[in-house]
Amino acid sequence: MRLRNIKGSRETISSNEYVIHEPEKLKGAWKEFFGNDNPIHIEIGMGKGKFLTQLAIENPNINYIGIEKYSSVLIRAIEKRNELDIDNLFFIRFEAEYINDIFDEDEIDRVYLNFSDPWPKDRHAKRRLTSKEFLARYDKLLVPKGYVIFKTDNRDLFDFSLEQVELADWKLLNKTYDLHHSEYAGGNVMTEYEEKFSSMGNPICRLVTYREK
């Protein structure tokens, strides 16, 4: 699906106080940026920001960074953020492939991946955010036993992700093929896509994985 270009979105993003414009300069210094030692959680491909915004409101003692490459989507997250009186949520317009250019080793406590692009063609498997190639990237930036939490309604992508976790020698903390009717449903914060797909009757799959260091 082609994203609709929103006039002025790039200009708004470039001047917004909640968007970090040179994140490479903060590699290894994110604690100093936030001004505290609170855990840092990131969402890669955050979309319009509903999920991460809600988490930031509910958890003031956790710092959140949303990463999104599309300006026309990021602008919607900024609109939500502008209305809030919180200091623990910031955004980066960035390509996930280069995530290790902006975060140092053991700097991030949790990575959220929600309804990521499935890249259905086999030749594009390495682009999937749950591929072993991306897990290797997360391994570098996560603290010991830091979690990657992945949700999707795409069963093929979920099965692929489980295979990649095993290939990468990561550990599964838990998994479910129907999150909303599972023991893990309590406290679940839904994304825009999750609300849409679950309303259509699609079961939501979720896994939590970590790498023992």
117 catalytically annotated: yes
| DSSP collapsed to 3 states, the chain | CCCCCCCCHHHHHHHCCCECCCHHHHCCCHHHHHCCCCCEEEEECCCCCHHHHHHHHHCCCCEEEEEECCHHHHHHHHHHHHCCCCCCEEEEECCHHHHHHCCCCCCEEEEEEECCCCCCCHHHHHHCCCCHHHHHHHHHHEEEEEEEEEEECCHHHHHHHHHHHHHCCCEEEEEECCHHHCCCCCCCCCCHHHHHHHHCCCCCEEEEEECCC
- Kindly name the residue from 87, 117, 169, 178 that is annotated as catalytic: 117
What are the residue numbers of the active site?
A: 117
